[in-house]
Structure 1
Amino acid sequence: MSKLITVFGATGQQGGAVIRTILQDETLSKEFRIRGISRDTSKPAAQALLKHGVELVSADMSSKESLLKAIQGSHSVFLVTTPAWGVAGSDAELIHGKNVADVAKESGVQHLIFSSLLDVTKESDGRLKHVPHFDQKAHVEQYIRSTGVPATFILPGYFMNNYTSFGMLRKGEDDVYTLAYPIGKDALFPLIDIAADMGKFVAAALKNRSETLGTQILAAAEYYAATRILAEYEEVTGRKTQFVQLDSEVYKSFIPGPMGQEMLENHLFIEKPGYYVGRSLKESQALLSKSGYQATSWKSFLEQNKSSL
C-alpha cells in the first residue's frame, strides 16, 4: 500500500511544486499518495488538484487539534511556513512551525521535510537583526531538531520569479532596463526557479531519506552575480540593461514600513556574509543529479518565461 505524504501550502509556489513533481515522478507517484493542505480548498487551484487524485484538507496552523487531523496517518510531511510580511514583532511563523513539529512528533511522522533558511542575526554576528522571514525559519529548524522527528531541511535560494513578478528590472525612458540593489554588482545570488525546482529537491530528499536525514540541502541552480544576471537577460531578450547600486536609505524609501528594513538587511546579508555564508552548492547538485533531476538555469528560466518579461 502506498504511503501518505502531506504537503503544506498545496496551492502555493513551494507546496505546488512538490505535488507536481511527485505526481510526475514514475517512482514517487507509486510510492506516495498525496494529501494537500490549503487554507482555502474551494479556490480553483485547490480544485484542480482534486482532479489529479490529491486529497485536500484545510487546516489552521495555530491549532494543534486541527493540525493533528490534517497530519494523522502521514509517513512524510512537507512543511513550508508563511511569513507575517510587514507585521513588526509577529512570531506567527515560528508558532506555526513549532505546532507542526509537535504534531508530527505525536503522529509518528517518519520524514518531515522543512523549507528552512539561515539565521541572519546569528550569521551576521548581530549586525543584521531585522530579517524575521529567515530567522524564524531557522528557529523552527532548531526546534524540529530538538524534537527528534526524523527531518531534512531544504533551504531555497533567491527566487528567479522575483525578477518577473515584482518588476525588479524596470524600463526607463531610454529603453534601458535597470536593476537596482543596495549592494554591489558582485554580490552572489543563489538563484532557484522555485515553482519548477523546489519539488525536485524535495523529491531528492524523499528518494534518499536515510542519506539526507538531519542535513541541509541548498536548493539553488548556481551562484549568479548581478552582472551575469543582466548579461543573460540581455542575451535572451535583446534589451539593454544597467546595474545601479542604491544608498540604503534611498532603497528603503521605495518600500515603506518594516518591510523596507527587512528587504534592505536581506540584501545586505546576501553581500556579506552571503546567502548561504559561502557554502558550495556542489553537494546538493550531486544529490539532485543522482535522483534524476537537474536544476533550471537562469537563462533557461528567461527563455521559458519570455512572455512575462
Structure 2
Amino acid sequence: MRRPLILVTGATGNQGGAVVDALLDDPDRWRVRALTRDPSSTPAKALAARGAEVVAGDMADEEALKRAMKGAHGVFGVQNSRTAGLKGEVRQGVTLIEAARTSGVEHVVYASVGGAERVRGIPHFDTKWEIEQHLRATGLPATVLRPTTFMEVFTMRGSSLGLGMMAAALGPRRPLQMIAVRDIGVFAGLAFADPDTYTGQALELAGDQLTVPQIAATLKATGRPGRYARVPRLLLRAMGKEARMLFWFAESGYDADIPALRERHPGLLTLKSWLTRTLHDHGRRPPQPPRHGGKGQSVA
C-alpha cells in the first residue's frame, strides 16, 4: 500500500519546516511534498536531500496549488502576514483552502494562533480567525492548531527588548504560555496520523508557562542573556494596535491545557528542555541558517 502524501506549505519556514521534520522522521508512514517559492534555495535543496519532494508554488496562485496537491492525502497550511501583508495572508489562506476543497484533499491541518477565537483587534489574530472561519464553512475535514508564543523568540536578536515589553504588560507575576516550534510539527503529525481523533478539533498549543522573571532566569541558567529593561507602559500604549497583543496577554491571554497536551505528546518541551536541547544540537553540528516565512508574530 502506497504511503499517503502530505503537502506542506511554508516548508522552508519555521512551522512548515517543523512539520516536514516530523513527517520525515516517520518515513515508513508518509511521503512529503514541500511547497516553496524557490526550490533552488539552500534550505529547499536540504529538504530534497532528506527525501522530500520539493515543488515551486505561490499560495496566492490557486492553479499552482492544485498542481502541488495532485495525489495529496493531506495539506498543512501556514501563512505569514509579515511577508504577505494582512490582506495577502487572508488571500493566501482562502486560496489554499479552495484549492484543497476542489482537489479532493482528505485532511487539512491549519496553523492559526492561540486565542484567535477569543480576542479581536489584534491584526494578525484577526486574519487567522477569518481563515479559520472560511475553512470551517467549506466542511473540509480539518484540524486547527493554535500555537502560543514561540520559545524561539527568546533567543532571537532583540529578545531583551521583547522581554522588556512583556514585563511592562504582564508585570512580574502574570505567566505567559509558550511552545517550541518543533512541537507544532509533532502535533501536525499526530493529527495526520489519527484523523478520527483530531478532525474537527482546534488545539491551543503550549508546553510551558512562565513569568517574565522566570523566563529571564531560565535563559541565564542555560547560558543565554537574560537581561531586560522594563519598557514604560506609556510607550506600549503609544504603539496602538501593535501593542494590543501584549495587553491581551495580561487581560486574559492564552489558555492551553498543558497537562492534557502532554498526555497526547509526552515529549512536549518546556522552555528549559528546549533551550538545553538547542544548545546540545548546536554543539553537535554547525549552526543552521535561519528559516524565514514562519508565523507573522514578533513575540507570539
Q: Same fold (TM over 0.5)?
A: yes
Checking the alignment, whether the CA contact within 8 Å between 1:117 and 1:135 is kept in structure 2 is: no
Instruction: Specify whether residues 97 and 188 from structure 1 end up closer, same or farther in structure 2 by C-alpha distance, changes over 3 A only.
Output: same
Total equivalences in the alignment: 278
User: Structure 1 pair 241/210, CA: closer, same or farther in 2 (3 Å)?
Assistant: same
1:302 aligns with 2:275: yes
Q: Which of 87, 101, 118 lines up with 2:97 in the alignment?
A: 101
- CA contact under 8 A between 1:118 and 1:135: conserved in structure 2? no
Task: Give the equivalent residue in structure 2 for 1:169.
Answer: 160
The residue type paired with residue 165 of structure 1 is: M
Q: Which amino acid aligns with 1:15?
A: G
Structure 1 residues 238 and 206 mapped into 2: Cα distance closer, same or farther (>3 Å)?
closer
Per-residue Cα deviation, 1:233-259 (whole angstroms, up to 9, x for no partner): 2323386746625214x2477xxxxxx
Partner of 2:6: 5
1:145 to 131, 136, 161: 136
Query: CA separation in 2, counterparts of 1:119 and 1:163?
Result: 21
Query: Is the 8 Å Cα contact of residues 185 and 243 (structure 1) preserved in structure 2?
Result: no
Residue 9 of structure 1 aligns to a residue in which SS?
A: coil
**Is the 2:75–2:109 contact (alpha carbons within 8 Å) kept by the matching residues of 1?**
yes
Question: Is 1:91 the counterpart of 2:87 in the alignment?
Answer: yes
What is the alpha-carbon distance in structure 1 between the residues aligned to residue 28 and residue 160 of structure 2?
Answer: 42
Q: 1:5 to 1:148 in 2, by over 3 A?
A: same
Any idea what SS the aligned residue of 2:39 has?
A: coil
* Alignment gaps of 5+ in structure 2: 288-300
Please give the residue correspondences for 1:232-251 in structure 2 after superposition, counting only pairs within 5 Å.
232-237=218-223, 241=227, 244-248=230-234, 250-251=235-236
Q: Is the 8 A contact 2:59 2:92 kept in 1?
A: yes
Task: Indicate how the Cα distance of structure 1 residues 262 and 38 shifts in structure 2: closer, same or farther if over 3 A, else same.
Answer: farther
Contact 1:105 1:149 survives alignment (8 Å):
yes
Q: How far apart are the structure 2 equivalents of 1:197 and 1:119?
A: 18
Deviation at 1:112, TM superposition (A): 0.3
Does the 8 Å CA contact 1:119/1:138 hold for their aligned counterparts? no
Per-residue deviation at 1:3?
Answer: 1.0
Partner of 1:158: 149
- Within the alignment, does 1:76 sit opposite 2:68 as a pair? no
Instruction: Indicate conservation of the 8 Å contact 2:107/2:142, yes or no.
Output: yes
Give the match's secondary structure for 2:91: helix
- Equivalent pair of 1:5/1:74 in contact (CA under 8 Å): yes
The percent identity for this pair of structures is 27
Q: Deviations over 1:244-275 (max 9, x none)?
A: 25214x2477xxxxxx4443111111111212
CA distance in 1 between partners of 2:94 and 2:163 (Å): 41
Could you say what secondary structure the match of 2:252 adopts? helix
Deviation at 1:226, TM superposition (A): 1.1
Give 1:142 shift: 1.1
Of structures 1 and 2, the larger Rg is shown by: 1
Distance 2:84 2:40 in 1: 27
Does 2:180 match 1:193?
A: yes
SS of residue in 2 equivalent to 1:98: helix
Larger strand percent = 1
CA RMSD of aligned residues (A): 2.5
1:304 Cα offset (Å): 3.7
Matched residues in 2 for 1:54 and 1:238: separation? 34
Q: Secondary structure at the match of 2:81?
A: coil
Name the counterpart of 1:55: 53
Q: Distance in 2 between matches of 1:45 and 1:86?
A: 20
Query: Pairwise mapping of residues 112-131 of structure 1 onto structure 2 (< 5 A)?
Result: 112-118=108-114, 123-124=118-119, 129=121, 131=122
Contact 1:111/1:149 (8 A) holds in 2: yes
Structure 1 equivalent of residue 248 of structure 2: 269
1:209 and 1:22 mapped to 2: Cα distance? 15
> In the TM superposition, what is the alpha-carbon distance from 1:167 to its structure 2 partner?
2.2
Measured against aligned partners, the alpha-carbon deviations of 1:82-136 in whole angstroms (never above 9, x if no partner) come to 114695xx4111111111111111111111000012565x734x5xx2x221111
Indicate how the Cα distance of structure 1 residues 252 and 55 shifts in structure 2: closer, same or farther if over 3 A, else same.
Answer: farther
Distance 1:192 1:238, change over 3 A: closer
Once the two structures are superposed, residues 201-253 of structure 1 have per-residue CA deviations (whole angstroms, 9 ceiling, x without a partner) of 111212221111111122211222212212222323386746625214x2477
